[in-house]
Amino acid sequence: MEAELNITYITIGGYVDLHKYRYLYFVGLFTLYILILVCNFTVVYLICKHKNLHEPMYIFIAALLLNSVGYCTNIYPKLLRDIISSNLAVPYSACLFQFFIFYFLACSEFLLLTVMAYDRYVSICKPLQYQIIMKNSRVCMFLAFAWIFPACQIMVPVVISANMKLCKFTLNSIICNNAMYSLHCKGSNALSVFGTIALVLTVLFPVLFIVFTYSRIFVITYRSCKEVRRKAVQTCLPHLLVLISFSCLCAYDVIIARLGSELSKTVRLFMTMQAFLYHPIFNPLIYGLKMAEISKHLKRLLRQAKVN
């Protein structure tokens, strides 16, 4: 009983007119969550089932989609619980855990997009060396790095935040993101410095690397035949679209962190919701419709479903 009394609770205070639109929010978000799960798992299932999709490019796509599922599962169940419940209090430790998963998977997505860009670079610019460079052991190493490195990195601000004193207990957000820093009694130089380093290592450097690799791809394919250019556009365009989409979401999060106190509650709510509304369903739609091999198997699966 004494342990329970020592738990620090914070109140989720980022909702607008929650009581008025409670059931509309719930039905809309629940439907979207189910749709996200179905779309992502369908593409992952197709990649696992068909041997011609057991290639590094498709394995990275499957990892990216599983990332999206974890990202959404970290957010949606709690949102649905908050919406349907009249109690918006949550233990600070649970909020820190959501913060950790949220940023760990977000950083991991950038790293996965980076190794996907490298995979396309090797496939198109060094096709004769592709099997040697992108062997199974290296693919596993890339996947391990894309998950382990950001997990270790995000653990540092979580540990620092866990040991900082709180002076506010109402979070001006609907999820535990950077807005949590406003709860601390005083700012932390260590958090600011480490946050900048993390942003550079897991966002800026990967984006610059992706831009470099795709620039090289487009220069080389521009000098090649029409068939090579078509293959490059067919495989690279989906990755670029996903990168642009996710970069916009990160920009929203940075803006909220820097200007949160100057933004109205409605604007903060709208900007926060961009992080999980359309991107997790955007990924499987892009890869399912734009990647020729996945699209072919998806159409066959839909035809079988209609027949049955």
Cβ count within 10 A of residue 122: 18
Nearest alpha-carbon partner for 45 in 287, 290, 235? 287
pLDDT at 204 over 70: yes
Q: Do the beta carbons of residue 73 and residue 102 sit within 8 Å?
A: no
pLDDT of residue 105: 92
pLDDT at 2 over 60: no
Close Cβ partners of 148 (under 8 Å, ≥ 6 residues apart):
none
81-117 residue pLDDT tens: 888 887 788 899 999 999 999 999 989 988 999 999 9
Q: How confident is the model at residue 67 (pLDDT cuts 50, 70, 90)?
A: very high
Mean pLDDT to the nearest integer, 164-193: 84
3-state secondary structure of 75: coil
Instruction: Specify which residues 10 forms β-bridges with.
Output: 90
Place of tokens 């490059």: 232
Q: Do the beta carbons of residue 236 and residue 217 sit within 8 Å?
A: yes
**Which structure tokens are listed for 199?**
């942003």
Burial of 140 (0-12, 13-18, 19+ CB in 10 A): exposed
Q: How confident is the model at residue 308 (pLDDT cuts 50, 70, 90)?
A: low
109-160 residue pLDDT tens: 889 999 999 998 898 888 888 888 999 999 999 999 999 999 999 998 899 8
Q: Give me the sign of the Cα torsion angle 203, 206, 209, 210.
A: negative
Q: How confident is the model at residue 174 (pLDDT cuts 50, 70, 90)?
A: confident
pLDDT at 1 over 80: no
Q: What distance in Å separates the CA atoms of residue 140 and residue 34, rounded to the nearest whole number?
A: 29
3-state secondary structure of 170: strand
pLDDT of residue 36: 92
3-state secondary structure of 166: strand
236-283 residue pLDDT tens: 778 888 888 788 777 777 777 666 556 677 777 777 777 777 788 888
Quote the DSSP letter at residue 6: T
Nearest alpha-carbon partner for 177 in 89, 276, 46? 276
Q: Give me the sign of the Cα torsion angle 196, 199, 201, 206.
A: negative
What domains can you pick out in the chain, each with its CATH number?
19-173+181-307 (1.20.1070.10)
- Enter the pTM of the model: 0.87
**Which structure tokens are listed for 88?**
């918006």
Q: What distance in Å separates the CA atoms of residue 297 and residue 62, rounded to the nearest whole number?
A: 15
